[in-house]
Every structure is written in C-alpha cells, then in structure tokens.
Structure 1
C-alpha cells in the first residue's frame, strides 16, 4: 500500500490493520467509565463481567430491570468492584437514553464517559415482513418493525449521545494510532464508540430481512463515522460476530445451523476487549467466527485445512472486514464527486442560470398544486 493512498487513512487517524497474534493488556481498561446498552444479557453481560473484573467503571442499561440489578449485584461481589451500576434504559425511547447517559455521567468517578458500547439488539422471532397474504382478508397487515427500532434507531440514538458526551470527557485525548504500547497506562481517559454489528451487516440471512437491514445500517453508520468522528477526537470501531451460541439465535435459526460450527462468545468478548482496551485502534471492523484451522497456499491464498490440519496450519477466529474501504472505496467516490464538481465548474454561470430559471418556472407552475395538497393534509 502506497504512502500517498494511506495518507487519507492517516488524516482520519485510522489505525493499521490488526494483528490478532499481537497481545494486548486487558488491564488497560482499568479506570475507564464504560456504558453498555443491552447489558443485562448476551454479549453485553459478558462484556460487563470481563471489564468489571479488569477494574473498569461499568454502567449497564437494559429494559429488564430484574436481570440488570441482579447481574450488577453478583459482579460487584465477585470482583469487589463497587463502581458498577444498572440504569433502566429503553434504547427505542429517546428520553430514556438521555436519562441513561446523564445518570451514568453523574456516577462516573471522574465525571465523564470514556466509552460507549451500542450493544442492545433483537432478532426477528416471527418474521412477518414481505410474507405473502390473501387478497380477500381486508387491508394488508402492518409489518412489525421493532427490530429496526431497537437495532438501528436505538443505535442512532446511542451514537448521537455518544458523540455529544465523548468529546466532553475531561482529561481525554484524541486517539493516537502511533502511541507507544508502553505508554498505554499513562492516559486512561478515552473517547471510544464500539458498535455491535453482525455477519448480517455483510451478508444477508434468509427470513431475517429486517434484521439484515438494521445491521447493514449499523455497518453504514460505522463507515460514515470513521471518516468524520476523528474531528472530535472520537475513535469508532465495529465487531461483526458470526452465529454465536446465545439466546438471540431463533429456534428456526438453530435448525438451519444444525451441524455447523458456531463462534464462541469468549472470542467475541476478546475481540471487543481488544478494541476497548487498546486506545490506538480506530476505524476497524472485526469479524468473529468459529475457531478454524487454515493454511496458506503457495499462491498466498488462505484455505481451510480441516480439523486436524498440518504443521503449517494456523487456528483463527478473528478476521478484518472493510479493511481498505477508507483508502479505496471512499477515495474512489471522492474522486468521482471531484470530477462532478469540476464538470459543474466548467459548465459555468450560463448552465447555472438556465437551471435556476427552469426551477423557478416549475415552482410557479406547481406551487398552487403543492399549496392545495398541503392545506388538505393539514
């Protein structure tokens, strides 16, 4: 990769590709105040246990008050860490999320928020979207889009609040991808947003149309933010787990996946912990899959080597996706827009004047009709 191309990523403070074999120190999260939505179960609860044990100040939000309060009590006892809290949070409700962030900031020992995990998510237990129906049963049924409300709208609310609070974190610094590893303990104040996507962010899952749509949306959010969030010194990362043995997999999903390998939740936790602990990592998307053994061919391609493998095989569960988007896809589109802008300038004022006259004529012609429609609707 040429330095001229990579300079775009440098300007966005994107870190270099992650080497899964490179160790990281989970104790780097000590003293950080971390918020987790959907923290009472699934990935959120596993993140909570891991980071609380490492000395982080963790606040979890969830709609299940009993589970949330119960897990906080248990982890406080197990870790002797008393900077652990539960706050009721319905991610689909804007005011509920506002209250969650405000209360969490008050509970933070240093008065700020270092990291947010937009983890809350649901699956389509009984998919109804785009199902064929009978024409003689009356009006078409309204689809249940709660999955979109939780997995996308809720994440957008969380992200909006994260980008409000993180730049205001006292004593924090913008991410530095070139920071010396030995200095990681010197500045625990962070500005980190961790998004939780899915393999459905990258590839469609049959009968999970809305789930796939929501997770594609999270991927789009990540790709947009990693190009711009650096202006506020916020680092943004994403993890996309493969099918993991958690309650979010529906019975139908388990039937479809029967006999297939599933990812391990401890690998998901390790991937998230790497991104959370290492404040040098920014703009990266990690796919977490089953642990499989692979071998590199003479042509440089990686292939599955079987369960037994051979002496040259390597066991992996972590992969990077969208690795070169910032340098290739985004730069490519920027060049196209640049060409369009150049063409716009070449057209000059005469073309602009003609287009403006055409627009004004359309306004005169259609103005009364638009006004009439507006009056009828209001």
Structure 2
C-alpha cells in the first residue's frame, strides 16, 4: 500500500530541481575491491584517518597519492604499504594545504605519477584540532596588538577550498571519465573512470563544540561547501560526498577531550574508513553525507519515528550500527522561506518571459560598456 502524501511536505519538496542518488541503505553491502585501479589523491595522509584510508585502498588495488607536511611520517607510511602489498601503490609528496603553490605542485605531480594520467578521487582530509587560542586573547591593550592565531580555521577550511578548487580543474581532465554521473551502472562493470570529491566534515559540522569555535565554524563551513556543491553534481559531472566523524579514537583528540568524554563512548577508525570506502568505491553514490559515531543498537519507535537506545544485553537480533545518514532531506522538506523565495523568482521569470530576459541582457551589456568607458563606480 502506498504511503499517504503529506500535503505540507509535498509542497516543500524541491527534489525535481536537485538530483542526487537515493538515501543510503547500510544493510546493502558494497565491495571495497571496487577501488581497484582507481587513482586517489588525499591530503593529510600521513596519520590518523588519512593513513587508514591509504592502507585500506592501496591494499585493495588502488593507487594512492598522498600529500602532507609530515615528510618523515608520509615517507615511512608509503614505504611500509608498498612493501606489504608488493607493488608501488602509494606515493608521498610533501604538500602544505595553506600554500597555494605547494598544492598546485602536488596536483601536477600526482597527475604525472598516475598510471592512468588522471585522478579519480580527491579526498580533502587534512585538518587539525587543538586548544583554540581564539578564546584566550592576550596583549590586546598593547600599542600594536598581535592578531589571533587562526591556523585551525585556515587549515580546516581554506585548505579544503584550495583542494576543492584544484580538484574541480583536474577531475574533468581524468582520461575516459564521463561528464554525466551514472546512478545505474554497477561498479563492477568496466566503464568510464570516476570524478569524485570526498570531504571530511565532523559532528562539529552539525552541532557546536563549545570549547572549539574555530574548529566548529570551519567544519560548519565544510558542510556549507558540501551542500552547495552537491546541487551541481549533474552539471559538473563530479560526485560530491562527505563523512562526518564523531569523536574518534585518534591522536587528534587531545587529553582534555578524552577526559571530557570519560564515561561516554568514542567511534572507531575502521568505521570512518568503512564510510569513506563506501563513497570512494561506489560511483552510484552522489551527494550523500554519513555521520560516524560509536557502535550502538537502536530501535525505531513506530509511532514517533524516533530512535531509542537498546539496553545492554537486550535486542540480540538487532545489529550494531555506527553509521547514520545526515542532511539527506535538504530537498524533500525545504525551509519555507527559501521555498517561497524560489517560487517568487520562478513566477517573476515566467511573467517577464523572453522579453524580460532580453531586456536584462541589453542592460547588462550597457552596464559593461559604461564601466569600460567611465570606469568603476559609475
């Protein structure tokens, strides 16, 4: 029996405008072996999630080209993985995500090293978290007070912007890749090469971390970037996906953070790798975001739809899960003001028709001529 249509929800649905792949069903398995022969570029690959990604994907047949400022760690990781897989599967290039020329060089060298002459996936993984100096202003009564240290925000967002900007240039140049994202072709079928950007957000993309304003705001910005880019996936032909880890047991969580989390739970690196591998290996997944948290057993209330934690020792038939989809319904239930504004714009365009379009074109050209003759500000 078909479910009844809720009039209010239907009125706010804009999915006919924005096209993405269907919501994720984590009960349907994927095969990480689908990454075989992919060429994956990753920033911040020398440690943490990045190092785990490198090991997993190289072991399953991908070529991974990683960039990091940690030269010793990156070089050792590449040598270790190459020795274990018995081939040159990993390349390390020194790269600083805040240095534009360093990033340009990183991408160019990656294309040169690629066995296919192109890049299939770009993973914007580099990021830091630390005690936020924004909260401890010092010496601001001096004659020339120093500016705050904004390195956390710069690495976590401007570094991502540099990475995405270069990815948008190089991915369309991936030989034999297809401009049109195909949501139906099975990944095991030999076909065009991929064009994919994977962003690393955080639970801080969704909710605030009070002691971490720079980290929170920068991860909010990454979420905004994801939501903007995924609406153009079918125009650019580039898949966009995002992973948002909760507190994961890695070196990025400082001692103070571990103390604050005492008595609670943290997520596992392998679950973050699982989420990222689903995105990287399956070219049918477009515009989706996964939150990674601690593994728990949940039961959904049939009346309210809310999830409830299953008590320890109960629910033997309920599988544990660490992955949840986030921001899956942006276009199913658009915020009312935005929906109304879009409808007004569409109505104006319809009323004005081609005559209004032609008038705007003439006025735009006239404005350009005036700027050329009289200069800016006229």
The alpha carbon displacement at 1:136 in A equals 5.3
Judged with a 3 Å threshold, the aligned counterparts in structure 2 of structure 1 residues 345 and 278 are, in CA distance, closer, same or farther, namely closer
CA 1:167–1:331: 2 relative to 1, 3 Å: farther
Q: How far does residue 242 in structure 1 lie from its aligned partner after superposition?
A: 0.5
CA contact (8 A) 1:55 1:81 kept: no
2:169 is equivalent to residue 164 of structure 1: yes
User: What residue in structure 2 maps to residue 363 of structure 1?
Assistant: none
Residue in structure 1 matching 2:324, options 319, 324, 335: 319
Q: Deviations over 1:150-204 (max 9, x none)?
A: 110000000001111111111112322222x3x5331261000000000000000
Matched, 1:37 2:43: yes
Aligned positions of 1:1-378 closer than 5 A: 9=15, 12-123=18-129, 125-131=130-136, 140-173=145-178, 174-179=180-185, 181=186, 184-187=188-191, 189-299=193-303, 300-329=305-334, 333-340=338-345, 342=347
Q: Relative to structure 2, which stretch is displaced further, 324-333 or 279-288? A: 324-333
Aligned to 1:329, what secondary structure does the other structure show?
coil
**Structure 1 residues 58 and 203, CA, compared in 2 at 3 Å: closer, same or farther?**
same
Secondary structure of 2:134's counterpart equals coil
Deviations 1:57-107 (A, max 9, x none): 110000011111110000000011313200110000111111000000011
Cα deviation code 1:260-303 (max 9, x no counterpart): 11000000001100110001000000000000111223424320
Query: For residues 92 and 132 of structure 1, what CA distance do their matches in structure 2 show?
Result: 24
Q: Aligned-pair distance for 1:335?
A: 4.0
2:81–2:89 Cα contact (<8 Å) kept: no
Unaligned runs of at least 5 residues, structure 1: 357-369, 372-378
Q: Name 1:376's counterpart in structure 2.
A: none
TM-score, normalising length: structure 2: 0.85
Is residue 295–residue 314 contact of structure 1 (8 Å, CA) maintained in 2? no
Tell me how far apart the structure 2 counterparts of residues 185 and 201 of structure 1 sit (CA, whole Å). 35
- Which string of whole-angstrom CA distances, capped at 9 and with x for unpartnered residues, describes residues 326-361 of structure 1? 333379625413415646998999xx9xxx9xxxxx
Change in 2 beyond 3 A, CA 1:331/1:80: farther
Task: Say if 1:240 and 1:157 are closer, same or farther in 2 by CA, change over 3 A.
Answer: same
Output the CA distance in 1 between the equivalents of 2:321 and 2:100: 39
Distance in 2 separating the partners of 1:7 and 1:108: 42
Change beyond 3 A, Cα 1:346–1:27: closer
Does structure 2 conserve the Cα–Cα contact (< 8 Å) formed by 1:147 and 1:211? yes
Q: For residues 20 and 119 of structure 1, what CA distance do their matches in structure 2 show?
A: 23
Size of the aligned set, in residue pairs, is 350
Partner Cα distance (1:152, 1:17) in 2? 27
